[in-house]
Amino acid sequence: MDKVFIEGLEIPALIGIYDWERRIRQTLVFDLEMGFDNRHPAASDNIEHTLNYKAVSKRLIEFVGQSDFGLVETLAERCAAIVLEEFAVSWLRLKLSKPGAVRGARAVGVIIERSRPTD
């Protein structure tokens, strides 16, 4: 399976369960791997035929920037659903990191894998 990836996408967001977290925007870091057949866009050399990672990034920046979830798990699920439903992605691996959330750790977060339901 071919993959298109976005690595280290930093998006400020309101996220967390503690009062102090609800008052400040924290930078979250997203890494995505998306299953996409690259043969057609490679043959045509036409951006119209490919998975436009800039469009995916802009959509996630818009959504996450307006979101207000308590858990990174919830945000990760919502972001995965957006990518699967709005873009021609068959499979997705999404890593959502919350830097500085735990003293002594570079980051914490979740990694999820989701697939588009088959008919």
**CB-neighbour burial class of residue 98 (10 A; exposed 0-12, middle 13-18, buried 19+):** buried
Check if 98 is active-site.
yes
| Active-site entry in 3, 54, 58, 98 | 98
| Residues catalogued as catalytic | 98
